[in-house]
Structure 1
């Protein structure tokens, strides 16, 4: 099992692009996880940028890449003193699989000037269920759950016993299985929480992300994250999901909204 840093490693090429080796472990079924792909794109931009951290990432997923070699191109759009903007594309065999607009800046761990997003009340971490990568009766394995530990709030688990919730909400404690602390890039993985809201509503199957926007707010304190996710509506074969993540200090460290396809 590769660490997160190893699984998202990139190598500069002479032509200015970057090479990555996409890791099959960071996947849901046989599809690579969207947050993982964004982290690979973000690492390439961070290597090219003058600013250290991604602060906003919007990614369109055009077609699913497969595990193995990939090329990341990075194009500067604007260079500023506090923030800079870049376009990044992930390609395989000459075909673009994902394209992102990434704003780079600098993050710290300062307390917020103002906040209306207090951390959620979740059961203690050891009272939440550690999701297995291979669940009894599941239609496919989720290798991602071997590298990112998801401990789901028992209130979200009705779908596992044939009693799906209609709340459209989940909550979980998350840790990286390699023991490393969360950082702005790995937060992109945490904000693409498993399982999707559609599964908790009783709709089985893959819910592929169409577009995903994340805001990284501060450097996370060491320890697990508390992450919540909710949906507002499923209509016309599409579902929205909004995720919020807090660190052990109770500070909001990231938030994201995505639009996913769903067959119900």
Structure 2
């Protein structure tokens, strides 16, 4: 098992960053969307300034799924101001754009909220939540991502595993990096794209590829596990929205995201 740091490593070659996309960070043979944005964020942070070392806003359009292996990341600075740097990044393979992202860099800290109207998700303790295996019995596809992410889902939200989805459109649980490292603003992009997606709780199995994802990193998380809650609001015309919130071990909201995914519904 490699570390998150190793899996997102980039090397600068002139004006281009080279990456080796790790197949372990995948779901059903497709590289995980949050992981891909983290690789792009690593390149952007590598070329950023000391004043703005952290990604705070990441908006990615997934044009087509990249394959594991070599990829290039092209970084185009847009503006550097007093409080933020804005950058455009493109991940390419074989000369074709696979993902395009707009990324804002800032300096984040661990300060508490001035105001918050959102309570942390209420979960049983970690030990009461079963760990998600890389290959669940009867699962539709393998999830190598669960070898590098230690995820423990709320047992009250697992009815879909026995054929009885709640149809509330909610998934929630605990997450840790399996390599033992603490979460940081970059790795939170992985936590914001939890597996399985909420279509399973709606009784809709199968892959739900991300079309667009917008993430907001609010602060540097405290050491320890994070709690994640994702829910859907509407499924229409083969499209499903998903909104995720992440709280750290001090009960602070550290990140949130909204994505639009493709989904197949009964005809």
TM-score, normalised relative to structure 2: 0.98
1:2 aligns with 2:18: no
Residue 38 of structure 1 aligns to a residue whose secondary structure is helix
- How far residue 60 of structure 1 moved from its aligned partner, in angstroms, is 0.1
Task: Confirm whether residue 152 of structure 1 aligns to residue 158 of structure 2.
Answer: no
Secondary structure in 2 matching 1:87: strand
Output the CA distance in 2 between the equivalents of 1:11 and 1:117.
39
Q: Is 1:173–2:174 an aligned residue pair? A: yes
Pairing 1:27–2:19 present: no
Deviations 1:196-232 (A, max 9, x none): 0001211111000000000000000000000000000
Distance 1:65 1:188 in 2: 17
Write out aligned runs for 1:203-222 (5 A). 203-222=204-223
Q: What's the C-alpha RMSD, in Å, of the aligned pairs?
A: 0.6
Shift of 1:165: 1.0
Structure 1 residues 105-184: aligned runs within 5 Å: 105-184=106-185
Task: Tell me, yes or no, if structure 1 residue 231 matches structure 2 residue 210.
Answer: no
| Aligned match of 1:81 | 82
Runs of 4+ in 1 over 3 A off after TM superposition: none
Q: For residue 44 of structure 2, what is the aligned residue in structure 1? A: 45
Deviation for aligned residue 1:180: 0.4
5+ residue gaps, structure 2, are none
Separation in 2, partners of 1:58, 1:245: 17
Q: What do the CA deviations read for 1:50-97 (whole angstroms, capped 9, x no partner)? A: 110000000000000110000000001111111010000000010100
The corresponding residue for 2:104 is 103
For 1:91, what is the secondary structure of its paired residue? strand
CA distance in 2, matches of 1:3, 1:97: 24
For these two proteins, the number of residue pairs brought into alignment is: 263
Structure-2 separation of matches of 1:18 and 1:111? 35
Residues in 2 aligned to 1:108 and 1:161: alpha-carbon distance in whole angstroms:
42
